[in-house]
Chain A
Amino acid sequence: MVRFFGIIVGLGFVSALIFSIIGSLPFEAAERTAVEDFHQKPRTLALASDGAFGKFDRKQLQRGLQVYNEVCSACHSLRLVSFRDIAALGYNEGQVKSFAAAHEVPSIDPDTGEPATRPGLPKDAFPSPYPNETAARAANNNALPPDLSLITKAREGGAPYVYSLLTGFRNPETYRNEKGEALPADSKPGTGLHFNPWFANLNLAMAPPLTSEGQVTYGPGNPKPTVDQMAKDVSAFLVWTAEPKLENRRAVGWGALGFLLIFTVLTYLSYRQIWADKKH
């Protein structure tokens, strides 16, 4: 009885699928879209933190923090990171305090209760450049600059994507893809948009943020602040903001693996020993 009803139900589902297939025929060839023809995969970016043994390059993270602080922070918040966290980049307590104090954070006037600001303390999170989303949109042609704390984990492609995007602005009039095609007129950026083949829909509201060598002044002993170098440094920094416990995680991982390898070898040997006289 179960088999009889099973076959009936099975034929029902199969018929519905055959009906679905017939209904969708003949296939209409889908037109290729500009995104399929022009969107680029992220360029390769090698960072010191890559790989199972990777460690952050602290000098690079400090440069990246400088790029964020002087360029990105004009529009983008970093709300999940606190000033105290930058001690992990190799700053001492005094440096963290003075870095924090250089930022104004929202506060309440202790005398009047009115909204006010005060110099930041290490416990404070990086302040947002705008008081709220509406203000952020109003200042940016109705586009909302995303928070950057998790950006390298929240985008397909991670840090290489961020690096590619920052260095990927092209002139829509002269740009040619690998096949030598020019951008079709209806895919050209509208008012207030900027062409970037690494962006999901090719045109984004952010203007090229890193435009010229020396936009940020690196201290002595650092590489030249070319656009490419600044983009790399800030991408490395954003890997750290998204995953501050990365090095700790890998260290614990290696410890756990070492323990488990010994454990597994021992259990394998005892398994062999116990089964030695049993065919199985």
Chain B
Amino acid sequence: MSFPWAEAYKPKSGFTQWIDERLPLPRLVYGAIGAGYPVPRNLNYFWNFGVLAGVALTIQIVTGIVLAMHYAANAGIAFDSVEHIMRDVNSGWMLRYMHMNGASFFFIVVYIHMFRGLYYGSYKAPREMIWLLGVVIFLLMMATAFMGYVLPWGQMSFWGAQVITGFFSAIPIVGEPIRQLLLGGFAPDNAALNRFFSLHYLLPFVIAGVIILHIWALHIPGSNNPTGVDVKSESDTVPFHPYYTAKDGFGLGVFLIAFVIMAFFLPNFMGHPDNYIPANPLSTPAHIVPEWYFLPFYAILKSFTGNFLWIPAKLWGVLAMFGSILLLFFLPWLDKSPVRSAKYRPTYRTFFWVLVIDVIILGYLGQAHPSNWTVLASQICTAYYFAHFLIIVPILSRIETTLPMPNSITEAVLSGEADEAHPVGVSATNPAHPEPAKA
């Protein structure tokens, strides 16, 4: 793996040599995130979000483990145990608000990470496996977040569990038994709460495991870059450390500032007031909505209102909701365009931005009070969502005329900068070898 010019790890002392011969962990780190890992030199700030997602998961695991020391997964006292954390546990309010907002920030970061992958074609060969593992992580995150939202056992927890497990009952014949198996009963109760807590504690470690595979798969071809052009020579890359450790450090600072503003000053902004009412199976909230990060998928679910082709509307909705995520598994083969970056695909770029706006509108519609017009709008937006991935992208990848691409990353970096200062020994008219090769 990695490029031939990658710096090899050389132990500096007898001690590190002794370690290296027995457990070459420093060698692994050096080659994975150290000076031994060459990375394209032109990565922009969108490439910070992978590291930030890892940080978000770490925040969730650390705060979550401490919260679990004080939380009681019992339907009778779960709500009160969360309030006990908020009121009586030392800094419990901080752990709980960081965990609650950390989930939202994890999704914000991962959505931007996915946007980056879609815009710059990071899912294309030879990086399909990275993308597939990423979709697996996304599905695991959704399951984990859903089960975590049930744990405080407020009104939205309870009714969210009721609605989401209810999706499975739309499946003919086996649906209702599956639902009862998931819940451990006919409705969400203590059995459901306990198993959700158990799985909510387990799944983050599964996510961590799949992240290791995700990074492993990344290190085979190396990172994509904003031009989508393959790395060709050493001048196209810089060592990960110190170049990208420094850039990621700055990105981390900005991320944490945004996180602290929300967690400490607007902690309930992304939550729902009804979840501060203890769960009550006899009182349905006027308006059941999931957490914001599920809203586009919730809008897709609700937009199917007609029984079409002997399939009932509810089943269409459930199929579409799961299908809207599962189709991402097929994306590397739906989009066969050899050009990766949307920078050189003007038509794809237009359709892609329509998709981004489309998903944001779906998110708005997911929480809007239903009326004729919001249902119609979500039907149109859902139709575009499926048409984009399943019809437009496959056809476009065959017929699109793409723009000329630079010959190399280095050429792209240096072009248009003729009047600026250049690296030592480089003339602007000869960008092919902009830097003397390092010995």
A: which residues have CB within 8 A of B?
2-3, 6-7, 9-24, 27-28, 30, 52, 80, 85, 146, 149-150, 153-156, 158, 200, 242, 244-245, 248-250, 252-253, 256-257, 260-261, 263-264, 267-268, 270-271, 274-275, 277-280
Contacts and interface: CB of A to CB of B under 8 A. Distances in A.
A7 B243 contact: no
Contacts of A80: 80, 83, 87
Contact of A257 (B243, B257, B383, B423): B257
Interface in B128-186: none
B97 interface: yes
B273 A154 contact: yes
Contacts of B277: 146, 150, 154
Interface of B: 41-43, 80, 83, 86-87, 93-94, 97, 238, 242-243, 246-247, 249-250, 252-254, 256-257, 260-261, 263-265, 267-268, 273-274, 276-277, 286, 303-306, 308-309, 311, 313, 316, 320, 323, 327, 330, 333-334, 336, 371-372, 375-376, 379-380, 382-383, 386-387, 389-391, 394-395, 413-414, 417, 422-423, 434
B107 to A, nearest CB: 21
Contact of B86 (A14, A245, A252): A245
B264 A249 contact: yes
B253 A154 contact: no
23 contacts: A7-B394, A9-B327, A11-B391, A14-B387, A16-B306, A16-B320, A17-B380, A18-B383, A21-B379, A80-B83, A153-B276, A249-B94, A260-B260, A261-B257, A264-B253, A267-B249, A271-B247, A271-B250, A274-B246, A279-B41, A279-B413, A279-B414, A280-B238
B260 A253 contact: yes
A23 B305 contact: yes
Contacts of B316: 16
Nearest to A157: B273
A31 B42 CA distance: 58
Given A9-B323, A278-B41, A24 B372 contact: yes
Given A24-B372, A249-B94, A263-B253, A9 B390 contact: yes
Contacts of B97: 249
B382 A17 contact: yes
B308 A19 contact: yes
A274 B387 contact: no
Contact of A6 (B93, B261, B390): B390
A179 B273 CA distance: 30
Nearest to B271: A153
B256 A260 contact: yes
Given A21-B379, A23-B305, A264-B250, A257 B276 contact: no
A30 B371 contact: yes
A260 B253 contact: yes
Contact of B390 (A7, A18, A267, A270): A7
A246 to B, nearest CB: 9
A7 B105 CA distance: 34
Nearest to B311: A16
Nearest to A9: B390
Given A257-B261, A257-B264, 12 more contacts: A7-B391, A11-B391, A12-B309, A13-B320, A16-B308, A16-B309, A30-B372, A200-B286, A253-B260, A263-B256, A264-B257, A279-B422
Nearest to A269: B250
Contacts of A9: 323, 327, 386, 390
Contacts of A264: 250, 253-254, 256-257
A113 to B, nearest CB: 24
A7 B382 CA distance: 15
Nearest to A52: B265
A19 B238 CA distance: 54
